[in-house]
Amino acid sequence: MKILDAHMHYNPDEPYFQEIAQAAGCQNTEEGLRQSFSAAGVIHGIVMGNRSLYPEDHRYPSCCSYCLGLDGRMLSQMNPKEALALAEENLRLDACVGLKLYPGYSPYYVSDPMYAPFYTLAERYGKPVAVHMGATAGSEGGLKYSHPLTLDEAASRFPKVSFVLCHLGNPWIVDAAAVMDKNPNVSADLSGFLEGKQDMDLYLAEKSGYLEHIRTWLQYLDSYDRLMYGTDWPLANEEDTIRLVQALIPEKYWEKVFYENARRIYPLKL
Ligand SMILES: [Zn+2]
């Protein structure tokens, strides 16, 4: 089975990432990334960028594409025209397959007017807007900004923009399912459910109620063509996350969820 990792990070120079990578059994280097990919059968990954808006700051290994991170705090400090022009410079590149917003980490709702020109731009380039949704790492963020219901307004106001509800809004799975059910332009990735290295036999046994809850709402939604495998690498490793997603998704949809959906939703030229 070919696999695309639709949600990962690549910050090999940051000591913080080195620490969390080790906890997950990953090596936070280009070589470590390539080893993780080849051991698990992952042929390509999509890096969620959180650097500047300058294209030259977004050089990643050839096995990766990227989404340009738009941090609301950074945008609010910039000249809007300049920020938009820089975003467009990225979107013109094949390697840039979308935009990424970080509500929760940044205190702005996705419906904030500041983002509207970027949605229109993403639509023009036929590339999605991925949105961090659900729990935030650490205690500094604001959860009201990352609740999946907040995506409903933007998704219905911009019906031709493809949005990706990252992490399926975990733990607000029911709300994420409601937003996806109402808005066919919203997809989701299944990254960020795991952290660190897991004993997956134990995890799958001990978390059976939680996993059943997720399966229940995925069954309710019944839109397996809008779900994508993703890890949040190097916070979680490929092997553990593959087992988790196989446990959540019926086998007849694995080809779509592990590969086809991401290739279509992020316009990947593979
Ligand atoms: Zn992430």
CB count in 10 Å sphere of residue 262:
28
CB count in 10 Å sphere of residue 139:
5
Between the CA of 131 and the centroid of ligand 1 the distance, in Å, is: 10
| pLDDT at residue 254 is higher than 90 | yes
Between the CA of 98 and the centroid of ligand 1 the distance, in Å, is: 14
- The pLDDT, as a whole number, for residue 35 is 96
Within a domain: 48? yes
User: pLDDT (tens digit, 9 = 90+) per residue, 230-239?
Assistant: 999 999 999 9
Within a domain: 42? yes
Q: How confident is the model at residue 99 (pLDDT cuts 50, 70, 90)?
A: very high
Between the CA of 50 and the centroid of ligand 1 the distance, in Å, is: 10
Residue 12 has which token pair? 């090999």
Between the CA of 200 and the centroid of ligand 1 the distance, in Å, is: 21
Between the CA of 86 and the centroid of ligand 1 the distance, in Å, is: 22
Within a domain: 47? yes
| pLDDT at residue 186 is higher than 90 | yes
- The pLDDT, as a whole number, for residue 137 is 86
What number is the average pLDDT over the span 131-155? 95
The answer to whether residues 165 and 179 touch, using CB atoms and an 8 Å cutoff, is: yes
In DSSP terms, 49 is beta-bridged to: none
- The pLDDT, as a whole number, for residue 270 is 86
Identify the DSSP state of 103: B
Within a domain: 71? yes
User: pLDDT (tens digit, 9 = 90+) per residue, 107-141?
Assistant: 999 999 999 999 999 999 999 999 999 999 888 88
In the structure, ligand 1 is a single-atom ion and the residues with CB under 5 Å from it are: 48, 232
What's the domain count of the chain?
1
Cα–Cα distance measured from residue 32 to residue 26, given in angstroms and rounded to the nearest whole number: 7
Q: How confident is the model at residue 15 (pLDDT cuts 50, 70, 90)?
A: confident
What number is the average pLDDT over the span 144-165? 98
Between the CA of 7 and the centroid of ligand 1 the distance, in Å, is: 6
Within a domain: 270? no
The answer to whether residues 100 and 69 touch, using CB atoms and an 8 Å cutoff, is: yes
Between the CA of 192 and the centroid of ligand 1 the distance, in Å, is: 7
Residue 186 has which token pair? 């919203």
Q: Which domain holds residue 205?
A: 3-265
- The pLDDT, as a whole number, for residue 170 is 98
Between the CA of 167 and the centroid of ligand 1 the distance, in Å, is: 8
Between the CA of 8 and the centroid of ligand 1 the distance, in Å, is: 6
- The pLDDT, as a whole number, for residue 1 is 87
**Geometric angle at alpha carbon 84, from 108 and 129, rounded to 5°:** 55
- CATH number of the domain at 164, please: 3.20.20.140
| pLDDT at residue 59 is higher than 90 | yes
